[in-house]
A = this chain, B = another copy of it.
Amino acid sequence: MPVPKGSTIDPVRTRAAILEAATPVLYERGLDGIGVAELCAHLGVSKETLYRHFGSKDGLVRAMLETRSERIARWLAEAIAAAGHDPADQLAAVFDVLQQWYDDPAFRGCAVLNAAAQHHDQTVRAITERHLDRYLELLTGIAVRAGAPDPHTLGRQWLMLVEGATAVAAHHDKVSAGEHAHRAALALLPATAGARG
């Protein structure tokens, strides 16, 4: 029973449960690939409840994308933090996490970028841009700690590798995509930096 029936039992928990359950469904079916009625059936929630908590389908979508973006960034940041102090290890951790994601049978590419490809809504565009900002910040941080002379550019090139690997894994071939991207990212490090010692 994902959502309790009674009253004041937990107004905020219902919202969170809806969000949690809607995320994978919207991801695998696509934002416009499922209607509100069928979606509610999957969630075990009535339409009225959904509309009271999110106002509209777009409201749910926006909340879902923001939550997902924040979660991904937190997930990556934790993987980086757990990798110790060596920037090379931190970089390896990033691409390890990515490859694990690619290996998930449900993997269908980046949910946020997929969403942006469908809704060219202004709000969704903003969420997408902020999502890539978060990625960029994490990667630039590694580049700084690695002593790269132009960490901003290196971070951006790493971002391209991350997104490129994700696209290739989603639409072409996921085997070793993370590993190949990782090796490419490493090759950029000594080329741009005078670092490593």
* Interface of A toward B, CB cutoff 8 Å: 30, 32-33, 108-109, 113-114, 116-120, 125, 128-129, 132-133, 136, 153, 156-157, 159-165, 167-168, 170-172, 177, 180-181, 183-184, 187-188, 190-192
Contact = CB atoms under 8 A, between A and B. Distances in A.
A11 to B, nearest CB: 34
A108 B108 CA distance: 20
B181 A160 contact: yes
Copies of this chain in its oligomeric complex = 2
Interface SS majority for chain A: helix
Contact of A161 (B108, B132, B160, B192): B160
Nearest to A184: B157
A108 B161 CA distance: 19
Contacts of A30: 117-120
A123 to B, nearest CB: 14
Contacts of A132: 168, 171-172
Contact of A156 (B162, B168, B187): B168
Given A129-B172, A157-B161, A187-B187, 18 more contacts: A32-B32, A113-B171, A116-B170, A118-B118, A132-B168, A133-B172, A153-B183, A156-B180, A159-B164, A159-B172, A160-B161, A160-B165, A160-B167, A160-B168, A160-B181, A161-B184, A163-B163, A187-B192
